Structures are given as structure tokens and as C-alpha cells.
Amino acid sequence: MHATRSPRRPRGWWRHGVVYQVYPRSFADGDGDGTGDLAGLRARLPHLAALGVDALWITPWYRSPMADGGYDVADYRDIDPAFGTLDGAERLIAEARALDLAVVVDIVPNHLSARHPWFLAALAAPAGSPERARFHFRPGRGESGALPPNDWRSEFGGPAWTRTTDADGKPGEWYLHLFTPDQPDLDWNHPAVRAEFESVLRFWFDRGVAGIRVDSANLLAKDPALPDLAAVADGSPHPYVDREELHDIYRAWRRIARSYPDERVLIGEIWIRDGARLARYLRADELHAAFNFAFLASPWEADRMRETIDASLATADRAGAPASWVLCNHDVTRTVTRYGRADTSFDFATVAPGIPTDLALGTRRARAAALLTLALPGSVYLYQGEELGLPEVEDLPPHARRDPVHFRSHGENPGRDGCRVPLPWSGQEPPYGFGPADTRPWLPQPGNWAPYTVEAQEADPGSPLWLYRRAVGLRRSLASLRDGAFRWIEAAEDVLAFRRGDELVCAVNFSARPQPLPAGHTVLISSEPAGDGTLAAHAAAWLVPSPPAGPGRPRGHTSTDGNPW
Ligand code: GLC
């Protein structure tokens, strides 16, 4: 039986709520085949409810050969058998809703799987056929057509073109793929492509999903001339990034979202740094929100973080959209590892193996970052395992690796498997409750993850899980964290401090020495013990004004000499 619709879900969860990203393959395995699935996720929904999040975003769960972890979709209207069934997905959506959790699904419109019926039909059809017109097929260059049609490179390394073989066995046309050859790009000038994705949106909205994450949202439109990048003049539009035609596509999608009586939301994956360009996707008749990758990419330094926060709030203001805060996802190095390095910024181009890492430092900083992030105005996106302080797994054996990024870089880039290792839930050894006792997870878990399990952390009030649960809970219950105006307040060097509303102060110490806390305040929550009126090194705290002092009761912390507050 399906759970009944709950009227309690607050409108605007996407404006100030916390969204938890589920990578289903690695979340929880219900049937013990080593791959996470919907049964596992459904059984673990209480963990998400206890964490206090408002929504879950589930990365692709559709039928897929898994050439890119499911971002190679063979059927947008069915669930991959490794994960479960469509009926199971509908039950999950209903059960989540009964727990006040909105469900966001991931739609991949730039490309589909090379095993999708459209692409199989295109390969079987001759050059110039209508079947090929839904993709970017072109003859090669050079006398025998042996050179790719242009100089575009795949986002994952290597050329963005692959040559096909004709029915007679001779080399044929080339097709475009901005990612792997298993992910042919669709031609968004084709009306059937637009119609198909509009129908897919309705399919999932009709099944009760509250939102859609739009994969690679700024790459769909291509210059039909497919010019060489080297030939594009400075200042001219890029032939495939952030093109004007995209906005019309998203206006049509917004009309679909608006055609539902309750709120349906579109969230864009848009990797562009320029805030003014990003804001254009967030106009009132386009996407509702976009991930804030500038925040994710920023180094953990007070000045840089402050600049990024200011720029992000300005972008959101300009667009009338909520700001969003993201530190981690299934594509990037896990936060505690990245923050334990000399260079704490993130850039796909610089991901490399063997970078010296101080995990204890990274963990302190990530705890502080959790309190910073959860105190900012807007929505917060957490990636599964972030609430456990999981580190990146950097020593996966070569035979275990699956990520095409690793293989296409010929091993130079470790790829993204290290942030996708199955979650530890309980017990002392793999599979740590990820699945039944004899489960062999699809990526091996480290032998030292016992302290990271949900079970171990539930028993430890000093654990990341307790910190996240308390902070997310406070964020839900304190009106100032939902609606309170944001205002920086003066603080010592290497400390960022801001007020939300009239009451709440968030202070973050980026330095390696303790810093004084403001006088007259009481600590609500802190990422490290804060008992003596100081904020520990690499720590953050939320404070509220102390109640008026009664006889014999000191007012909050005593001010120290040189206290800047
Ligand atoms: C997005 C996804 C990533 C995937 C890529 C291609 O960036 O987050 O995981 O590989 O799109 O679909």
C-alpha cells in the first residue's frame, strides 16, 4: 500500500531547506548483491528523517549500462533492475513524503546511453537519416574522413568524437560526445528531443517527485556549425557552453513545473564561475535554483570564503532565487580530505593522486564548515557520508576502479570512485551494514571505517553525526536561521562572523590559534569544545545573547583584553 500524501511538507523547502544527496549505488544494499538499491534506501529513510533534512536528491536510478555511474541512461522511464522497480520508486517517493522528505530526481538531458533505443536506431540507420538527426553525426575531416569533425575535447579527456562503422563494415560518420563515447550528445535543435524530455519531466512529476536536478544544464545547446574551438573569436559565444538557446528550453520546463498545482522545482547543475551569467538561469521563468560551485571550489581561507559568500548572495539577490551552499558531491574530493591539504580549493584540472593530507586538520575544518554552511541563508546540499565525516578513499586497488574519468586520463586522474565508496552503517568490518553480512560492496570499503559507522557515531556525542543532527535541527527550529537577515560583523583577523536576524551569531575561526568569542553570548553549538570564552583553532560556533544575569550569575563569556567583538 502506498503511504498517504502528507500536507506537512513546507512550501519553499528548496529556498531554505537542507537537501541530502543519495548516490543509490553506494547508500544501502537491500538484497546483498553489493550494489545499493531502493530497498536499502527505503529501509534507511529513518536515518534521513533523524538527520532532519527536508529533501533527498537521488542521482540517476534509471536503466543504464553504468558506463558513467548511471549518467548514461538507456530508459528514462524505468528503474535499473540493479536498483529495483518503478513500483519500488513510487513507493519510495510516497514513503519519503510521509516522513516530510521531498524527493528530487536527476534528469540527464545532454546525452543518453549508447544503448538507448534512439542511438541504436541511429547507428543502424544510414548517414543523413532521420534517426541520426537527433544526435550530432558528421563526416570526418581529411581525405578519408579519418580525422574528427572538429577539435572539441571530451570533459573526461580525449576527443569528443567517435567514429562509427557502416553496415558494410567500412568506417562511417563520427558522433559527438562531450563525456564518454557511451554517452552520445543529443541535438537540442531537434523538436523530438525537446518533446521527449518535456514528456520525461511530466512522467516523474506525475509520480510525485518534488524537484528535478538538471544534469550538465549549461551544455545542451550547441552551435549548429560545430566550429573548431580554436577558430572561435574572443568574446564570441562558446559553441557549447552557456549558450543563449538554453534559456528557451528552461522556460518551457518551468511552464511544465508550473502546470502542477503544488510546487515542483528545477535545480541546475551549472559549472560557470561568472555570477551574472549564472543568475540568468535563475530568472523567474527559468530554473528555481542552481548548485553553488563557486563555494565548493573556494579555498578554506577567511577572505576567500567571505568574497565567495558575498558574491553568491549577490547572484541570488540579482536573480530573486535562493542562494545554495554545496561543499561536496559525487564528482569531487570529499571535504575532510580536501580541507586537509595545503591547497584546499577544488578544481577538476588539479585532481591528482598522492597529495599529502592531514585528515585530523581536514576533519576539524570540515566540522567548522558544516556550521558555517548551515548558518547561511538559502538551501544547503549535503552529500551522503558528509554527515559522517567520511574521507576520500584514495587507495582503491586499480582493479576495483570503475570511473571513466580515471580510465580516460590513462590513470593520471584517480577519478571519482574515492568519494563513492559504499556507506558504513554498523559493525566492525566491511560491509559495515551496507548490506547483509556476506555482501561484497561494488567498491571495497577501507578496513578502518568502524569509527565512521552510523552506529558508532550515534553512540558518540562528539561525532560528526551528532554535530550535523544538532545543527540541522537548530536550523529547522530557529526562525532567525530561516528568515533572519544576514549581516557580517567585525571580527579578528582570520575569523568570519555574521549575524542572522537579531539573535544568532555564527563565528568561524580559520586560524590555527584560539580566538576570543563575543562577550555577553552563550554558545548554542560549536564544532570543537568551547568552554572558556574562546573559539578553538579551526572551529566554528553559533551563539545567542546570554539571558540577563541574575544575582551571582556572570553574563556570558567574560571579555578578554583585545577582544574585537
Ligand atoms: C554531471 C554528473 C557527473 C556525470 C556528468 C555526465 O557532471 O554530476 O557525475 O559524469 O554529468 O553526465
Residues 356 and 431 in one domain: yes
Assess contact for 293 and 330: CB atoms under 8 A: no
Are residues 425 and 305 located together in one domain of the fold?
yes
Residue-wise pLDDT tens digits, 285-329: 999 999 999 999 999 999 999 999 999 999 999 999 999 999 999
For residues 102 and 122, state if they share a domain: no
Please work out whether the CB of residue 64 comes within 6 Å of at least one atom of ligand 1: no
Structural domain count of the chain: 3
Kindly state whether residue 473 falls inside one of the protein's structural domains.
no
What single letter denotes the amino acid at residue 106?
D
Mean pLDDT of 151-163: 96
Q: Based on the fold, state whether residues 104 and 122 are members of the same structural domain.
A: no
- Residue 560 in any domain: the answer is no
What is the CATH number for 128? 3.90.400.10
Dump pLDDT digits (tens) for 474-508: 999 999 999 999 999 999 999 999 999 999 999 99
Residues 6 or more apart in contact with residue 539 via CB below 8 angstroms: 364, 367, 368, 508, 509, 526, 527, 528, 530
In-domain check, residue 43: yes
The CATH number for 502's domain is 2.60.40.1180
Q: Which of 399, 433, 468 is the last residue of a domain?
A: 468
Ligand 1 within 6 A of CB of 331: yes
Residue 2 inside a domain? The answer is no
Structure-block grid coordinates of residue 102 = 521531498
Q: Are 503 and 372 found together in one domain?
A: no
pLDDT tens, 255-290? 999 999 999 999 999 999 899 999 999 999 999 999
Considering the domain boundaries, does residue 559 fall inside one? Answer: no
Domain identity same for 322 and 362: yes
Q: Are 240 and 248 in contact (CB under 8 A)?
A: no
Q: What is the pLDDT of residues 528-552, one digit of tens each?
A: 998 778 999 999 999 999 987 666 5
| Cβ count within 10 A of residue 355 | 16
Q: What is the mean pLDDT of residues 9-33?
A: 91
User: What integer pLDDT is reported at residue 6 of this predicted model?
Assistant: 38
Going by alpha carbons, the residue nearest to atom 8 of ligand 1 is 331
CATH of the domain at 416: 3.20.20.80
Residue of 22, 61, 68, 269 to test ligand 1 pocket, by largest number of atoms within 8 Å of CB: 68
Do 331 and 367 reside in the same domain of the chain? yes
Domain containing 292 equals: 13-110+191-468
Q: What is the pLDDT of residue 549?
A: 67
Residue 558 lies in a domain: no
Q: How far is the CA of 71 from the centre of ligand 1 (A)?
A: 6
pLDDT in the model for residue 533 = 86
**Do residues 288 and 314 share a domain?**
yes
Specify whether 295 is located in the same domain as 165.
Answer: no
The pTM (predicted TM-score) of the whole model is 0.95
Task: Calculate the CA 127 to chain-centre distance.
Answer: 38
Computed over every residue of the chain, the mean pLDDT equals: 94
Domain closes at, from 129, 152, 176: 176
Q: In sequence order, what E strands does 27-107 have?
A: 55-58, 62-63, 75-79, 102-107
460 plus 522 within the same structural domain: no
* Residue 179 Cβ contacting ligand 1 at under 6 Å: yes
Condensed to tens digits (0 to 9), the pLDDT of residues 200-243 reads: 999 999 999 999 999 999 999 999 999 999 999 999 999 999 99
Based on the fold, state whether residues 197 and 155 are members of the same structural domain: no
282 with 404, same domain? yes
Q: Is the CB of 71 under 6 A from ligand 1?
A: yes
Q: How confident is the model at residue 61 (pLDDT cuts 50, 70, 90)?
A: very high
Whether residue 74 is contained in a domain is answered as yes
